[in-house]
Amino acid sequence: MHYRIAGEGSPVVLLHGWPQTSYCWRKVIGDLAHEHTVIAPDLRGYGLSDKPRDGFDKRTMATDVSELVRSLGFDRVGVVGHDRGGRVAHRWALDRPEEVARLAVLDIIPTREMWRRMDSEVGRGYWHWLFHLQPDLPELLAGRNIAGYLGYFFERWTYQRHGLDPESVAEYVRAFSAPGALRAGFDDYRASFPADAADDDADAGRKLGMPVLAVWGSTGLLGKLPTLEIWRDYAEDVTGEALAECGHFLAEEQPAALLARLRPFLAG
């Protein structure tokens, strides 16, 4: 498992989403490292981490990160998860609450709630979930033009479709052009149902006990959902808000605004 590490102090783990790698945290790691030991891994199948053919259920992916953190000498950490990484973080907090001191979830609602709310509006915004679930077809179609496929999301998931900077897009296209990378990213989604869904249903009604911060982009789909109310059905202590003029990629679109919320929360 490849990871970036910086700083000293209480440990904080940053978990990226799709279609990204730990590179997405580059604008916030430096500031957080003034007060924390910051650990930013490439999740199973992503970036420079190994790309096995299985183990993409969130329970296994959370175990990966837990074991990485323990190998670095930490027993209890703050966790920040964006997108798919937020789903790994949520499962980590459910399975090993003694290891997660504080949890920040960026631009997501719980996976179980996503399936429960999959109406026409949510389906229009999250059509890629259903497409990525299909065996082989996403690789067949997206693999012919990885830059075009990923670029579609980087444009449409950002505020006013300004997209990410060309250097960042090039980095992600390079990462997902590596052998096995595109398949592994889709396998992350394929694990959502039925594997992750079964685990989430088994924990239905169980609330997280640690403090939870939910932050999302105001111009994305979550801006139309009662995000805090939803998370309060899944955790006892929830705070948060939307970031103005921000789409899905909070750490890259609005790093200063995100840091203004994360730093006091992680400091406790």
The residues annotated with a catalytic role in the active site are 83, 189, 248
Residue type, position 267, single letter: A
Residue with tokens 């088994």, as numbered in its chain:
202
Residue matched to tokens 């997206």? 142
Q: The dihedral of CA 258, 214, 50, 92: what is its sign?
A: positive
Token digits for 188? 């992350």
CA dist 239 and 97 (Å) reads 18
The continuous run of DSSP H or E covering 84 comes out as: helix 84-95
Which amino acid, 228? L
What torsion, rounded to 10 degrees, do the Cα atoms 108, 236, 95, 267 define? 80
